[in-house]
């Protein structure tokens, strides 16, 4: 019988942290030895998960870091992340950081593209949710030199992407049935996207407009670009399918219309659809911001650093209802 | 040509206050002379309504009270209401108070039942949203001595019923797809309901369980009671229809299943449906908490105190798309 | 006292038709003499509106066309529209057609741009909902020669934009919390948008990706383009504000983030926001697809052909709760 | 290493069937050998689940029944269920039937109450979703002889409870933001509830009003009754906690207000809260209609007939988002 790997989760009571606990509870080769949440320390985990996910109670971050673990998964904000990562590594653990603190400097954990590097890393920067969606959708165009310089992205996210909120603007009374853009021309995921795509070919200039949608979870991205020369839809679909042929987490649909949030929320999949008309190309892509866009990909990264098959513990995930 | 009546609105920037401004803008016999909101004073009304409802800017409450008006409509909280009503009346205005400050002591403005008293009143207490829904649904049973002592009500409301909120529990992330009960066995509308029904017959004991629904507006109430003796559904429907025959704001449906939020949100109607089985009776009722449950009925009360037909300015209201 | 103008509504029981009836009920200078719906003929209008919008019952289309009217508003599908318009005009009526049957050939009723032509027209083609939103957002860029050839639009609509539906894919069980693209690279509003913009300057090539959103109503559009030369955000805002200075139905916000569905649903406004970074420009725009995107603009067109102020009967509209 | 038990799923492409496949994919002691759906035969399971839940393709029901299995889980409609169950049993399999075909006649699989009988059964009738919620909430009152004869229940369900739908009344355009009652005074779960409670004490008369809520999943029930004598809230809470002390799937909250859909959707838990005032008692309860109300409890029943711990394969379930 195989040994169970010991892992800790920091920031375990946030939306992504709870998803991590839930995924790790179904993981056949991992045991969670500490779940840290400073504001919930002492409270049993099941009080927040609503199910018997774990027999643990939340502990203070310091206590979690003092508990020996092979890997520490960090679902904490950007600011405290570097110091915590340093502490975890000093204690001998590998680190998967879900914040954007290490994305510019360390191994970038986009599993579909960089599995090789990730396997040998001791600190993996788990990609942003929009970044995962957009990079997956645009990568084949960049890799094969098909897109002109400018790539235009309009993308929307459910509100869990912004974490827990206590402001009137995020109340159901105000956000129900609402749609609005945010961080126009200044979203922090743009450099991350351009950097990752730059490793595949000539980095495009990405203009990303992000929107808040009146739903809890899911990201849908629509990418428009000019092709360097006309390519038929059928050729693009085949090219995308070849690129993602072996990828267990990316599905290339028949058409951009076949991509939908409904099909991905609850799963660790990215759906992608592509079509062209003359020299214009449109790619749609969707994923669950808390799974493939956060906790799900983090478990893939965990599997890779532990030397396990990439989707271990993720194969039961399916769309909700 | 008729004279336009001068009215002021206090608490004009809340959910009910904005509905009042919108309704009064379409009212053929009324001019709004002041719209008060202390926290929005100086801001144009259209900044909050999103349409050219009014050329006014919000003013401080004191300034509104200093502006001569025939009627002052108060959409303010319970606590400040009595002093403001006193001030308005001292200045010679009649008052329609949407808070629950005067419901136990003054003319109770449930227009379907007490239009006569309202017409001669100088202060009308506009009923609560749940109270309007439940009283309308139960009144025929009480008036005709059909229900046993206990009346059990389960009712749900959209979140605008609770006003604007800036707490995590009311964020879309937490309230989306959620349902939960609140104020169980202690809702403040119960005495109001028992008092009003007591004027029609033997007051029942009302047990009301209120629920928050993951929608912006609307109230749906389901009432169950034991009949003093079996009465057939068809007889009950006829009896309800006779009672509400002349009422322009109450529609008695064929069945309890025909009542729905969708049919009433955007309107000033209460829909009611009734059915029985042996000595058990079920009544369903629905209304728009911001219209028939607040601003719409307040305009009815305004019309009555001004000697106008009860639904003046309300006949264009219809369900939302 | 002024004369009331007699108008008829065809297709009066659809989502847009019901909105027309509701708006016309609040209109001070218009009387609806016939509301046609072949499948609802004989049913009282209030059965569908949920409020006392009209004392009329629905009639067959033929009966409506036989009723003398000054203007006939047609909220019918594309296919029957030309024959019905011909019949109405033969009977001496002017026509406002909400379908896309006459948009390529007749006076294009985008009121913000073509009010002069509309005033003298006997047949006005009411613009599409997406078209109204996108044209309003892009017009200043085209008029002032600022945008390069390609304009990329990602836009989403509530499901009422597609009319009533009885298919599993549009059931709440499937569309709740869903987002998906449709008619990618083949939406019928594109020629309409390019044609209208071509009257203001060099027509751009428009790539429009439309999305279905899990809400009932509202359109949100995000437009991205390359500027012919860098223009600062502040200059663009001022330029947009000058262009729409006198327009009672367009509001230019401070920023693209200030535009939201919540602010426009229930109103006859288009909100627009613009920002730039170097030679990239992003414009966001939002409107209510059933009001400014259909029935509201149709009433503006009605007012113009009747010689009334453009927003007569529309000034009470405000955001919902 | 333990043997994997072979199980088949009939009706595997419906909402409950897909949940079963998803749960069984995470189950450590079970292998799905056939997933039947006549209308999807030949299609890979992952086309409907949106994730790599299973490497199987759907097969015809007859083919599934011909595949040797220890247990057959049936998520098929009422009408075909008896014949299919007979066929499965003739082939030597035990049966868990999620329809209501066998609930009046066979072992009733409400795991919290009848685990002993279930363990030895060869055909288990999995309870209805409303029935599970209401019986769990009312059982302690009946067992301890506390409630008077009449028990009044108002309960609401997400639309997945009604299966897939292609009618206008269930379209998002009509059901969004809607609430309506259905099957008033004639819901098929009432006899089931009265029968199960009758095994614990004097069966009450249950009046159940069910409502459709504008959400995808979850059931919330509010029960009101008269106590045979006043009992303090604190005593009731303690009594409920004693009764459910060892139950891994029922949580008794501090108050009825602590129960919410948000806490149970995604889990296999029933949350219950109770409070009293004099001789009136209110109990609230909530569960996920597709998990504890269908597939989750079916897996509990599967575990019991296989001699496994009752919550095997269910401990990773947690609230969504």
Mean pLDDT check: name the lowest of B45-49, B117-121, B285-289, D285-289: B45-49
Per-residue exposure over B156-165, b if at least 16 CB sit within 10 Å of its own CB, e if not: bbbbbbeeeb
**Nearest of B266, B298, B303 to residue B17 by alpha carbon:** B298
Look at residue C158 in the predicted model and tell me its pLDDT: 96
D235 CB neighbour count, 10 Å cutoff? 13
Q: Tell me the pLDDT band of C321, cut-offs 50, 70 and 90.
A: low
Rounded to whole angstroms, the Cα distance separating D309 from D81 reads: 27
Provide the token pair at A282: 């449109």
Provide the token pair at C29: 């200078």
Nearest 5 degrees, angle CA B105-CA B107-CA B111?
A: 140
Look at residue D320 in the predicted model and tell me its pLDDT: 83
Model confidence pLDDT, tens digit, residues C134-173: 999 999 999 999 999 999 999 999 999 888 888 999 999 9
CB contact under 8 A, C222 and A174: no
Cα–Cα distances in angstroms (integers) from residue C94 to residues C6, C119, D71, in the given order: 11, 11, 71
Provide the token pair at D244: 């459910």
Q: Is residue B1 pLDDT above 60, yes or no?
A: no
Tokens 């001595």 belong to residue: B145
Phi then psi dihedrals of residue D31, to 5 deg: -120, 130
In sequence order, which ranges of A79-128 are alpha helices (DSSP H)? 81-90, 111-119
In sequence order, which ranges of D91-128 are alpha helices (DSSP H)? 111-119
Q: Say if residues D275 and B184 touch (Cβ distance below 8 Å).
A: yes
Rounded to whole angstroms, the Cα distance separating A282 from D123 reads: 53
Q: Tell me the pLDDT band of C52, cut-offs 50, 70 and 90.
A: confident
Chain D CB contacts of A219 under 8 Å are none
DSSP category for residue C211 = E
Paired residues of C223 in beta bridges: C153, C283
Q: Does A319 touch chain D (CB under 8 A)?
A: yes
CB contact under 8 A, B275 and D182: no
Question: How far, rounded to the nearest angstrom, does the alpha carbon of residue D137 sit from its chain's CA centroid?
Answer: 14
**What average pLDDT does range A136-156 have in this prediction?**
97
Of B185, B217, B276, Cβ closest to residue D277: B185
Q: Say if residues B20 and B295 touch (Cβ distance below 8 Å).
A: yes
Q: Which residue of D has its CA nearest to A294?
A: D321
Look at residue A116 in the predicted model and tell me its pLDDT: 96
CB contact under 8 A, C15 and D173: yes
Task: Select the more confidently predicted residue: C320 or C98.
Answer: C98
D186 CB neighbour count, 10 Å cutoff? 11
**What average pLDDT does range B263-276 have in this prediction?**
97
DSSP category for residue B57 = B
Paired residues of D57 in beta bridges: D44
Chain C CB contacts of B271 under 8 Å are 50
Tokens 């009374």 belong to residue: A173
CB contact under 8 A, D222 and B181: yes
- Provide the shortest C-alpha distance from residue A321 to chain D (in Å): 6
Of C164, C167, C216, Cβ closest to residue D177: C216
How big is the A-D interface in CB pairs under 8 Å?
A: 101
CB contact under 8 A, D320 and A320: yes
**Angle, in degrees to the nearest 10, between helices C233-243 and C129-143:** 110
Rounded to whole angstroms, the Cα distance separating D53 from D49 reads: 7
Look at residue C23 in the predicted model and tell me its pLDDT: 96
CB contact under 8 A, C319 and B269: no
Q: Which residue of C has its CA nearest to B25?
A: C316
Q: Does A202 touch chain B (CB under 8 A)?
A: no
Tokens 């007979």 belong to residue: D86
Look at residue D217 in the predicted model and tell me its pLDDT: 95
Paired residues of C123 in beta bridges: C95
CB contact under 8 A, C215 and A214: yes
Rounded to whole angstroms, the Cα distance separating D179 from C172 reads: 12
Chain A CB contacts of C226 under 8 Å are 150
Model confidence pLDDT, tens digit, residues B82-124: 999 999 999 999 999 999 999 999 999 999 999 999 999 999 9
Look at residue B52 in the predicted model and tell me its pLDDT: 86
Q: Does D72 touch chain B (CB under 8 A)?
A: no
> Do you know the residue count of chain D?
321
Tokens 């029985």 belong to residue: B276
Tokens 């073509």 belong to residue: C114
Phi then psi dihedrals of residue B98, to 5 deg: -80, -10
For chain D of 321 residues, list the mean pLDDT of each consecutive stretch of 10: 88 96 96 98 94 93 98 97 98 97 97 97 98 98 96 96 87 94 95 97 97 97 97 98 97 97 96 98 98 98 98 93 69
Of C50, C248, C317, Cβ closest to residue B319: C50
Phi then psi dihedrals of residue D233, to 5 deg: -55, -45
Of A28, A50, A264, Cβ closest to residue D319: A50
Which of A133, A134, A151, A152 best probes binding to C when mutated, by most C CB atoms within 10 angstroms? A152
The predicted model scores a pTM of 0.97
Model confidence pLDDT, tens digit, residues A8-57: 999 999 999 999 999 999 999 999 999 999 999 999 999 999 888 999 99
Tokens 């000697």 belong to residue: B307
Q: Tell me the pLDDT band of C191, cut-offs 50, 70 and 90.
A: very high
- Provide the shortest C-alpha distance from residue D144 to chain A (in Å): 28
Q: Does C119 touch chain B (CB under 8 A)?
A: no
Chain C CB contacts of D177 under 8 Å are 216
Cα–Cα distances in angstroms (integers) from residue B108 to residues B100, B116, B127, C94, in the given order: 10, 11, 7, 50
Chain C residues 212-271 within an 8 A CB cutoff of chain A: 213-218, 220, 222, 224, 226, 255-257, 259-262, 265
Hey, which chains touch C, using 3+ CB pairs under 8 Å? A, B, D
Chain C CB contacts of D174 under 8 Å are 164
- Domains of chain C, with CATH numbers? 5-127+292-306 (3.40.50.720), 129-289 (3.30.360.10)
Phi then psi dihedrals of residue B134, to 5 deg: -70, -45
- Provide the shortest C-alpha distance from residue C42 to chain A (in Å): 34
> Is C129 part of the annotated catalytic residue set?
yes
Look at residue A2 in the predicted model and tell me its pLDDT: 65
Cα–Cα distances in angstroms (integers) from residue A118 to residues A111, B139, D255, in the given order: 8, 70, 48
CB contact under 8 A, B52 and C263: no
**Nearest of A179, A151, A123, A134 to residue A286 by alpha carbon:** A134
Q: Does C18 touch chain B (CB under 8 A)?
A: yes
Provide the token pair at D208: 């159940």
- For chain C, give the mean pLDDT: 96
Look at residue B2 in the predicted model and tell me its pLDDT: 65
**What average pLDDT does range A236-254 have in this prediction?**
97
Exposure of A33 in the CB half-sphere (CA atoms within 13 A): 18
- Provide the shortest C-alpha distance from residue A307 to chain B (in Å): 36
Q: Does D184 touch chain B (CB under 8 A)?
A: yes
- Provide the shortest C-alpha distance from residue C312 to chain A (in Å): 28
- Provide the shortest C-alpha distance from residue A52 to chain B (in Å): 20
Catalytic residue among A129, A137, A196, A250: A129
Going edge to edge, which strands form the sheet with B30-36? Answer: B30-36, B5-10, B71-74, B94-97, B123-125, B107-108
Rounded to whole angstroms, the Cα distance separating B303 from A123 reads: 71
Rounded to whole angstroms, the Cα distance separating D240 from D227 reads: 15
How big is the A-B interface in CB pairs under 8 Å?
A: 68
Chain A CB contacts of B173 under 8 Å are 15, 159-160, 162, 164-165, 170, 216
D67 CB neighbour count, 10 Å cutoff? 15
Catalytic residue among B72, B88, B129, B196: B129
Catalytic residue among D129, D151, D223, D239: D129
Model confidence pLDDT, tens digit, residues C219-252: 999 999 999 999 999 999 999 999 999 999 999 9
- Interface confidence, given as ipTM, is 0.96
Rounded to whole angstroms, the Cα distance separating D133 from C313 reads: 51
């Amino acid at each position: 019988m195989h040994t169970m790997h010991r892992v800790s989760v920091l920031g375990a009571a946030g939306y992504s942290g709870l998803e991590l606990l839930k995924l790790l509870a179904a993981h056949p080769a991992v045991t969670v030895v500490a779940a840290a949440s400073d504001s919930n320390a002492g409270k049993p985990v099941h009080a927040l998960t609503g199910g018997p996910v774990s027999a643990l109670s939340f502990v203070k971050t310091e206590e979690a870091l003092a508990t020996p673990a092979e890997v520490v998964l960090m679902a904490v904000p950007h600011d405290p992340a570097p110091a915590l990562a340093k502490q975890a590594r000093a204690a001998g653990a590998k680190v998967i950081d879900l914040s954007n603190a290490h994305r510019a400097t360390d191994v970038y954990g986009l599993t579909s593209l960089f599995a090789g590097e990730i396997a040998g890393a001791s600190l993996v920067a788990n990609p942003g949710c929009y970044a995962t969606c957009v990079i997956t959708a645009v990568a084949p165009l960049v890799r094969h030199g098909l897109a002109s310089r400018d790539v235009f992205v309009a993308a929307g996210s459910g509100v869990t992407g912004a974490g827990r909120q206590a402001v009137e603007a995020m109340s159901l009374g105000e956000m129900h049935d609402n749609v609005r853009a945010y961080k126009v021309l200044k979203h922090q995921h743009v450099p991350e996207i351009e950097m990752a795509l730059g490793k595949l070919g000539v980095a495009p200039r990405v203009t990303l407009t992000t929107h808040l949608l009146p739903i809890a979870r899911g990201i849908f991205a629509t990418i428009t670009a000019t092709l360097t020369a006309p390519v038929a839809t059928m050729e693009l679909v085949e090219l995308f399918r070849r690129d993602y042929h072996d990828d267990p987490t990316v599905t290339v649909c028949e058409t951009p219309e076949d991509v939908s949030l409904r099909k991905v929320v609850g799963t660790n999949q990215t759906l992608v659809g592509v079509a062209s008309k003359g020299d214009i190309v449109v790619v749609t892509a969707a994923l669950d911001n808390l799974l493939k866009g956060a906790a799900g990909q983090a478990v893939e990264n965990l599997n890779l650093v532990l030397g396990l098959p990439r989707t271990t513990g993720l194969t039961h995930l399916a769309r909700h209802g």
